[in-house]
Amino acid sequence: MRQSSLVVVANRLPIDDSVAPDGACEWRRSPGGLVSALHPLLRHTPATWVGWAGGTGPAPTLPDVDGVRMRTVPLTPDDLRDHYEGFANATLWPLYHDAVEQPQHHRRWWEAYQRVNRRFAETAAEVAEPGAVVWVQDYHLHLVPGLLRALRPDLRIGFFLHVPFPPPELFMQLPRRAELLRGMLGADLVGFQRAQAAHNFAQLVAKVLHLPATDRRIGIDDRVVRIGAFPVSIDTAEMAALAARPDVAARAARLRQDLGRPEHVILSVDRMDYTKGIEQRLKAYSELLVSGHVKVRDTVLVQVAVPSRERVGQYQILRERVEREVGRINGEFGRVGEPAIHYLTQPFDRAELAALYRVADVMAVTPLRDGMNLVAKEYVAARVDDTGALLLSEFAGSAAELPQAYLVNPHDLEGLKEGLLAALHAAPADVRERMRAMRAHLREHDIRAWARSYLSALDQTGALVDRLTTPGDAPVAVPTQPDRSAVRADRRAGG
């Protein structure tokens, strides 16, 4: 068995399966945020990615993807139902997002979560060479660092949480709170999107496990676990280059013509998730139509809502509510050939998404809670002419990095309406100044800066980052401690 000096452990492998024209199964690199973050780095060292390939049954044997080895972890139908749909996405996900929906608790879900986490840990232990770095990703795998340390104490283990980490009063609701915290403390470095999340974690460790803890360091056994904020970003240059392509610009022009050449185009791109604030956004837009502040002929809303976790009951109910509201608004305010809302539920490829970003005069990103939300950053990167207004929720992690956006509280309907109108009617000079500042920030704080800052903090010798640095990349200055003044990250609509 081949072993690697760097192992990434994530719920999903960085590939999508699709059926080729001849009926064969085809594997390719997927466009998800985590993959885009790590791919430029992983191809420069013997790396293995451990994850689930999708579906149930025996784990398929997969070829390397761009030089990265794929090691699959199998899930049974019971694992999929109880670990993924159950504990991960019906217990932890709502709890970590302010309990927007009530978290559910079932003992068999916890048993499945333990079982699957152990399977991931055992697989990682097999493929990691002596002294390797193992980087565990996200809320599906909280227990893996602790299990892996018990199996392979020689490893350097990192854990990064891509979603928000809740305040103590919410996390304390979990029946298995101590086990989850201990699992995370198996890591040498625990990274979060925001400094507040690191603070919440330290408070919980002190309260639940009675360990000495600060917002930077936690003592456990004979070790020190370091914690900090490492806000995720995007490949800024890649999105800017894509948006600047002549075919993408031409596609954007056609899209605007297809929309009836309105004066204003508002765009939202979300996963269909109750944390994304889709219903609140639709209600605000509907009330602006009722008051006459927005007119269908002048303004068009394009709402992309990609289906997600469709086997989970809460998501099925949400989709029905959203579709019913879109139908009501279009029925009351639309005209023949002029709907008030263009509602799309299919996923888009990167070029089509970049064209949509170029069309949008206002990008409305108004989640109720989000770890980062990379859609906001992608929109900014795509505005290569420095135009476009970003309407952004205060409760997205990206708000701390992009204060020049039009910030709103999505729970405040009147404030949401006022923010939307402010973005729609802002002076061009103001819009340009804000966009230039946000684009300058993203050029400096891109995805490579994020990955290098985290891995430098994890492997303090600097050897790993030196090995992973692309020869053509500009060097990135990495602080010895995580930067706590900036706050960044989440996933795109597909995440």
**Residue numbers annotated as active site:** 162, 370
Q: What are phi and psi of 6, to 5 degrees?
A: -135, 125
3-state SS record for 131-194 = EEEEEEECHHHCCHHHHHHHHCCCCEEEEECCCCCCCHHHHCCCCCHHHHHHHHCCCCEEEECC
C-beta separation of 101 from 274 below 8 A: yes
Task: Give the list of residues 6+ apart from residue 118 with CB closer than 8 angstroms, or none.
Answer: 143, 147
- The C-alpha atoms of residue 9 and residue 53 are separated, in whole angstroms, by 12
Extended strands (E) in 336-487: 341-344, 362-365, 389-393, 406-408
- 108 by DSSP, 3-state: which? helix
- The C-alpha atoms of residue 334 and residue 419 are separated, in whole angstroms, by 23
C-beta separation of 132 from 158 below 8 A: no
DSSP state of 397: G
Strands 264-271 and 223-229: unpaired
- The C-alpha atoms of residue 3 and residue 47 are separated, in whole angstroms, by 8
- The C-alpha atoms of residue 481 and residue 117 are separated, in whole angstroms, by 30
Helix (H) or strand (E) holding 7: strand 4-12
Instruction: For the chain, give the longest Cα–Cα distance.
Output: 71
Task: Give the list of residues 6+ apart from residue 286 with CB closer than 8 angstroms, or none.
Answer: 325, 328, 329, 333
- The C-alpha atoms of residue 314 and residue 352 are separated, in whole angstroms, by 29
- The C-alpha atoms of residue 191 and residue 154 are separated, in whole angstroms, by 20
- The C-alpha atoms of residue 401 and residue 403 are separated, in whole angstroms, by 6
Q: What are phi and psi of 472, to 5 degrees?
A: -85, -5
- The C-alpha atoms of residue 419 and residue 410 are separated, in whole angstroms, by 10
